[in-house]
Structure 1
Amino acid sequence: MRHLPFKRAWKRTAQPIRIVVYSALLLSPLALLAQDEKPGIAFSMIATGAPLPAGWKNLPVVHGKPMTQYAVVQNGQTTVLQADASGSASALMHEGNIDLTQTPVVEWRWKAEKPIEGADNRVGSKEDAPARLVFTFDGDKTKLSLFDRASIQVAKRLGGQDLPYATLMYIWSTTAAPGSVIANPHTGRVQMIVVSGKPGDAGQWQSLRRNIVQDYEKVFHEPPGRITGYGLLTDTDNTGASTRAWYGDIQFLSGP
């Protein structure tokens, strides 16, 4: 089974190494928005209870952990994606096909039922979130630190796949104010931008819009490379808690 690398990519060599390897699938027209062939996904156009669109796969984050369950459900007058996690971690992912020169802006809706008790995205043993939007990027790995390059080589030997050059996440978190940047506790190659989680956000639909290029340059201090994958992640494997979140349509736009 294939796995994802971005939540818990590695620990120091004195500790057991837990490597997870990202793999994505070929884009299918069923995963596109309407008929205009833009990347993204319109859950609102999928029948309630229908299978996930072709091209999207529920991929485990850590080998042996329970999987988060993703299903298309009715919410009011529209259909959305419901994510249920109970001590679990897996991501609904798609291969990247986004031209950031044409569509650098992502727009989406989500709702988290409640904060995850005990979660803290700054601490590895508590690093869970009810909702995340995830992007993985290619880049020149020769520029990385010796430790990061060695970790990538270990990952390739163990799993047969390269880790992404960089991963950017937009997350629902109560551990920092919206706009804050949190580095993954184990590697600076995963950076998280808090966009939700302030008092009053729980149980409310939120419409969000971010410029991926500007955010990437802010957190990684260089222009982004090619997006290799994007998707959604609801996880509670570290805290062992249960949580539920809903995701609406995701689309990529030219701006502003």
Structure 2
Amino acid sequence: MSVRVPFPAVLLAAALLAGCAGPRTDSAAVASPMQQTARSGIAALRLSQTPAQAGEHPSGWQPWIIRPDKTRTRYQVQRVPIDGQARAVLHAHAASAASGMWVPLKLRPADQPYVRWSWRADALVDGADGARPETEDAPARLVLAFDGDWSKLPLRDKMLAETARMLLGREIPYATLIYTWDARQPVGTSLVNAHSSRVRLKVVESGPARLAQWLQYERNYVQDYIEAFGEAPGTLVGIGVLTDSDNTRGHAESWYGDIQLLTPNRTALGELPGNRAID
């Protein structure tokens, strides 16, 4: 029995999967200096230690293009005061735009199953709502991309992935987990992307209550992945950030601080004073 997927839906899903794409899995990509740097101590994720100058892209990060025809979000290093010290962060500004920045990795999630990160947003995206495909914009998102066993997926997912490969000429992630700041959906809400079930979102911040302040989060992303996809994650192949406002045709702005991957032999979630732990 054949499975027919409408062509516009294929293009939309392919574009979406492209946006969440991780590194290629061929030997040339695995051997690239950028990936070796990223895997060695995950140094590129420590934005506060980047050697990049203000106005530049952070060292070790790559542009992440959602679709070639979309306006790109502008990302650049800035130095801002945090706790009385000037620190390097990644500033994002989207004007009817959608693109991200990401770092390629090759990591077993069991080795470092916790992710800790910080961000700041001073305003929500007017009219945004992550539960509606026509308004699914957000000022701040943290994106984790994973490899996995494609043979286990339904035919429709395989077809979409193959279409994306043909259009892009590169591999795409098996699954993508996104932590998001949503304008309307409550904290703890789990969302499935409208175009692909291989992309799941977890709301970790909601509404305007904590705007205009630096916020720090910590998640057991292995546990979140299992809850979202019903299986243990494969190799973690990339981490990125995404600030977008293309669907609402509005504006979004945020700042991203260090991203850290932590080992299992550490204190449980919520150890940091004043921070929110969400299970």
Q: Under TM normalisation by the shorter chain, which class is it?
A: 0.7 to 0.9
Distance 1:29 1:132 in 2: 22
User: Secondary structure of 1:75's partner?
Assistant: strand
Deviations 1:29-86 (A, max 9, x none): 99669xx824552222236516334431112111211111111112112221110000
User: Secondary structure of 2:223's partner?
Assistant: helix
Asked if residue 184 in structure 1 is aligned to residue 193 in structure 2, the reply is yes
AA aligned to 2:209 is G
Residue 64 of structure 1 corresponds to which residue in structure 2?
69
In 1, are the aligned partners of 2:22 and 2:171 still within 8 Å (CA)?
no
Distance 2:228 2:170 in 1: 25
Residue 79 of structure 2 corresponds to which residue in structure 1?
74
Question: Are the structure 2 counterparts of residues 140 and 30 from structure 1 closer, same or farther at C-alpha, using a change threshold of 3 Å?
Answer: closer
How far off its partner does 1:130 sit? 0.6
How far off its partner does 1:157 sit? 2.0
Residue 4 of structure 1 corresponds to which residue in structure 2?
none
In 2, are the aligned partners of 1:178 and 1:198 still within 8 Å (CA)?
no
AA aligned to 2:167 is L
TM-score, reference length from structure 2: 0.80
Alignment match of 1:118 (pick from 111, 118, 127): 127
AA aligned to 1:205 is W
Residue 42 of structure 1 corresponds to which residue in structure 2?
46
Distance 1:228 1:130 in 2: 24
Asked if residue 87 in structure 1 is aligned to residue 118 in structure 2, the reply is no
User: Secondary structure of 1:84's partner?
Assistant: strand
In 2, are the aligned partners of 1:107 and 1:252 still within 8 Å (CA)?
yes
Residue 214 of structure 1 corresponds to which residue in structure 2?
223
RMSD over equivalenced CA pairs, Å: 2.2
Task: Find the structure with the greater CA-based Rg.
Answer: 2
TM-score, reference length from structure 1: 0.87
Distance 1:206 1:53 in 2: 21
Asked if residue 152 in structure 1 is aligned to residue 161 in structure 2, the reply is yes
Distance 1:38 1:154 in 2: 32
Alignment match of 2:242 (pick from 215, 228, 233): 233
Distance 2:233 2:22 in 1: 20
User: Secondary structure of 1:15's partner?
Assistant: helix
Residue 8 of structure 1 corresponds to which residue in structure 2?
none
User: Secondary structure of 2:8's partner?
Assistant: coil
Question: Are the structure 2 counterparts of residues 38 and 56 from structure 1 closer, same or farther at C-alpha, using a change threshold of 3 Å?
Answer: closer
AA aligned to 2:158 is R
Question: Are the structure 2 counterparts of residues 243 and 30 from structure 1 closer, same or farther at C-alpha, using a change threshold of 3 Å?
Answer: farther
AA aligned to 1:71 is Q
Distance 1:50 1:123 in 2: 34
Alignment match of 2:8 (pick from 4, 15, 40): 15
Quick one: percent identity of the two aligned structures? 35
User: Secondary structure of 1:172's partner?
Assistant: strand
Question: Are the structure 2 counterparts of residues 220 and 178 from structure 1 closer, same or farther at C-alpha, using a change threshold of 3 Å?
Answer: same
Distance 2:112 2:145 in 1: 16
How far off its partner does 1:243 sit? 1.4
In 1, are the aligned partners of 2:47 and 2:58 still within 8 Å (CA)?
no
Unpaired segments ≥5 residues, structure 2: 24-28, 269-279
How far off its partner does 1:23 sit? 5.0
How far off its partner does 1:93 sit? 0.9
> What number of residue pairs does the alignment pair up?
243
Question: Are the structure 2 counterparts of residues 246 and 30 from structure 1 closer, same or farther at C-alpha, using a change threshold of 3 Å?
Answer: farther
Distance 2:107 2:157 in 1: 26
